[in-house]
């Protein structure tokens, strides 16, 4: 495991363990982490299929880190997070970022928050830039745009599967990519579903354990 992966894990764990979370925040946090895990997995596979090589070790955690601002927003600005989340549910098809902009948070979205934190943690300029512009890849330096666009494709694919799960009747148009075969995308979708199922079962088991450990008030 590379130093960047270790640094990424330490950052995420420190955020999870050092903050006081409300029950509602605890409910949303696993969803954010699952989303990041699936996007990172899809990003690595997309990159390998498109470019014929694995990503550099420095970039193996991009999918885990690019959206870290969502965790910051949930922790420090929970009212805003829930406002945007509810607005997104009312406007199907819009991304969380688009909803932030429409609600007047341009310049202080989860993208800016995440980039600030990653810079403070001394991550590379490339990773900071990706967090800042992951919704606007054309704003990045040209040499990094391929990473942002690959990540964006991976995110759309992972989010579609998250929305469809456990329905396996996938839209054929979602299984088309100019540089990835349909068979590879089907295999990737099956693996993503397996990961979602594992995480769901783990969350249910952990929830049951938490309830059993809670002392009775009777």
Beta carbons of 69 and 63 less than 8 angstroms apart: no
Q: According to the model, what pLDDT value does residue 98 have?
A: 94
Which residue's entry shows tokens 């949303």? 28
Q: According to the model, what pLDDT value does residue 47 have?
A: 95
Beta carbons of 188 and 156 less than 8 angstroms apart: no
pLDDT confidence band for 75 (50 / 70 / 90): confident
Indicate if the pLDDT at residue 63 is higher than 70. yes
Question: The tokens of 211 are what?
Answer: 């309830």
CA distance 105 to 109: 6
Indicate if the pLDDT at residue 69 is higher than 60. yes
pLDDT tens digit string along 2-33? Answer: 445 545 555 555 555 556 677 888 788 888 88
pLDDT confidence band for 1 (50 / 70 / 90): very low
Q: According to the model, what pLDDT value does residue 217 have?
A: 37
Domain residue ranges in the chain: 3-11+24-201
pTM of the model: 0.82
Question: The tokens of 159 are what?
Answer: 């989010």
pLDDT tens digit string along 143-182? Answer: 999 999 999 999 999 999 998 888 889 999 988 899 999 9
Average of per-residue pLDDT across 87-101? 92
CATH of domain 3-11+24-201: 1.10.3210.10
3-state secondary structure the chain: CCHHHHHHHHHHHHHHHHCCCCHHHHHHHHHHHHHHHHHHHHHHHHHHHHHCCCCCHHHCCHHHHCCCHHHHHHHHCHHHHHHHHHHHHHCCCCCHHHHHHHCCCCCCCHHHHHHHHHHHCCCCHHHHHHHHHCCCHHHCCHHHHHHHHHHHHHHHHHHHHHHHCCCCCCCHHHHCECCECHHHHHHHHHHHHHHHHHHHHHHHHHHHHHHHHCCCCC
Task: State what percent of residues in the chain have pLDDT above 90.
Answer: 51
């Amino acid at each position: 495991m590379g130093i960047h992966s270790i640094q990424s894990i330490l950052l995420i764990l420190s955020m999870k363990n050092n903050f006081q979370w409300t029950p509602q925040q605890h409910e949303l946090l696993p969803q954010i982490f699952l989303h990041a895990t699936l996007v990172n997995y899809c990003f690595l596979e997309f990159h390998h299929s498109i470019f014929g090589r694995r990503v550099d070790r420095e970039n193996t955690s991009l999918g885990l880190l690019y959206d870290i601002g969502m965790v910051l927003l949930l922790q420090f600005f929970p009212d805003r997070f829930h406002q945007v989340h509810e607005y997104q549910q009312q406007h199907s098809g819009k991304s969380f970022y688009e909803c932030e902009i429409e609600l007047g948070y341009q310049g202080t979205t989860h993208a800016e928050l995440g980039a600030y934190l990653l810079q403070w943690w001394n991550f590379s300029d490339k990773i900071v830039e990706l967090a800042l512009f992951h919704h606007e890849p054309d704003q990045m330096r040209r040499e990094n745009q391929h990473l942002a666009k690959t990540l964006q494709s991976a995110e759309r694919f992972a989010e579609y599967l998250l929305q469809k799960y456990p329905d396996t009747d996938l839209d054929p148009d979602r299984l088309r990519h100019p540089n990835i075969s349909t068979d590879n995308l089907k295999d990737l979708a099956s693996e993503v579903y397996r990961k979602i199922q594992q995480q769901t079962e783990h969350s249910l088991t952990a929830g049951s354990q938490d309830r059993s450990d809670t002392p009775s008030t009777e």
